[in-house]
Amino acid sequence: MAGTVLCEPYELYNILNQYTHFPKRAQLNYICLIDARQKQHYNDSHIITAKNAKRDSEGAFMIPQTVEVDCMQYIVVYDSDTTCLQGLGEAIECADVLAKSSFCPVYIMKGGYRKFSALYPFFRTTKTMYTIRELEDLKPYPVEILAGLLFMGDSKQATDHHILEHLKITTMVNISQSNILEFEQGNHAILNIHITDSVMADIYTSLERICTFIGSRLNVGYPVLICSTHGISRCSTVTIAFLMHHLKYTLEEAWEYVVKRKTNMRPNRGFVQQLSDWELHTTGKRLADISEPNF
């Protein structure tokens, strides 16, 4: 039995928005998202791609027959508003049943549907069935780095007006070779930094300017999106550097923080070396051994 653990709404949000060429939620064994509320509440509105929990004739929760629970990378259960693992509740009861067949911990989302839908109302739906094609066509959103304030994504997300509106993003940092956001000027504050995704590219000399710009916007409550062409190398380098600068993280701490939120983030080797230089600048020491496999 794998057991159960609590997860925050932002963790589910980020799980739902992982992608490579296609959203990972389209993969059959990626996530099993279960709504443990009564069927009428589920039918009224639920989190996108969630399935209503199955119950037997006596109302006890059952393992879904169409889901290979033991093969799932993520199993997440929610009800209306569960906030802890103690006591009774629909999410706890359902998760306990699923945990008996799962090799991985079953997540219970803290705050339930009430909190998630308040934070991410654009992820509410009444749709109950999806084809694989429909799941592939669901556009991923930028991952959330700092709750409600800092996001990281790619150029397509940065030019999607619906995404910017939904996340209330008014500030963007574009780390790429072109002014992909040039037409977004107006109500948006945009910093364009022209850098190639090359091991020879110099990103270090721009980090102080970038971090100061991001910090000045966050300090007055303006959400910021850091983006690059594919949202993998350049933007993750800048995000790690900002966490080191703003939160005084070490390189290793910032790296682990970001990879938990975007699993395929990957600064190129030249940028990793420059992040080591940045660690020396921000902490006065080189604490990370960047020759280790994690880097």
What pLDDT does 64 receive? Answer: 83
What pLDDT does 179 receive? Answer: 67
At 211-268, the pLDDT tens digits run 999 999 999 999 999 999 999 999 999 999 999 999 999 999 999 999 999 999 999 9
What pLDDT does 294 receive? Answer: 84
Share of the chain above pLDDT 90, in %: 76
Whether the predicted pLDDT of 132 surpasses 90: no
Q: How confident is the model at residue 58 (pLDDT cuts 50, 70, 90)?
A: confident
- DSSP conformational letter for 81: S
Ranges of CATH 3.40.250.10 domains, the chain: 4-137
Ranges of CATH 3.90.190.10 domains, the chain: 143-283
Q: How confident is the model at residue 2 (pLDDT cuts 50, 70, 90)?
A: confident
User: What's the CATH superfamily of 143-283?
Assistant: Protein tyrosine phosphatase superfamily (3.90.190.10)
Residue 171: CB partners within 8 Å, gap ≥ 6? 188, 189, 190, 214, 217, 222, 223, 224, 225
Helix (H, G, I), strand (E, B) or coil at 128: coil
Angle made by CA atoms 223, 226, 230, in degrees to the nearest 5: 140
Determine the CATH number of domain 4-137.
Answer: 3.40.250.10
Task: Give the HSE-up count for residue 289: Cα atoms under 13 Å, Cβ half-sphere.
Answer: 3
What pLDDT does 230 receive? Answer: 93
Mean pLDDT for 11-24 is 93
Which of 92-106, 166-180, 221-235 is modeled with the greatest confidence? 221-235
- DSSP conformational letter for 142: P
Whether the predicted pLDDT of 31 surpasses 80: yes
Structure tokens at 273: 């070396």
Q: How confident is the model at residue 292 (pLDDT cuts 50, 70, 90)?
A: confident
Mean pLDDT for 258-286 is 96
**Would you say 115 and 91 are in contact if contact means Cβ atoms under 8 Å apart?**
no
**Would you say 48 and 125 are in contact if contact means Cβ atoms under 8 Å apart?**
yes
Burial state string for 141-165 with b = 16 or more CB within 10 A and e = fewer than 16: bbbbbbeebbbbbbbebbbeeebbe
Whether the predicted pLDDT of 180 surpasses 90: no
Comparing 175 with 1, the larger pLDDT belongs to 175
Mean pLDDT of the chain: 92
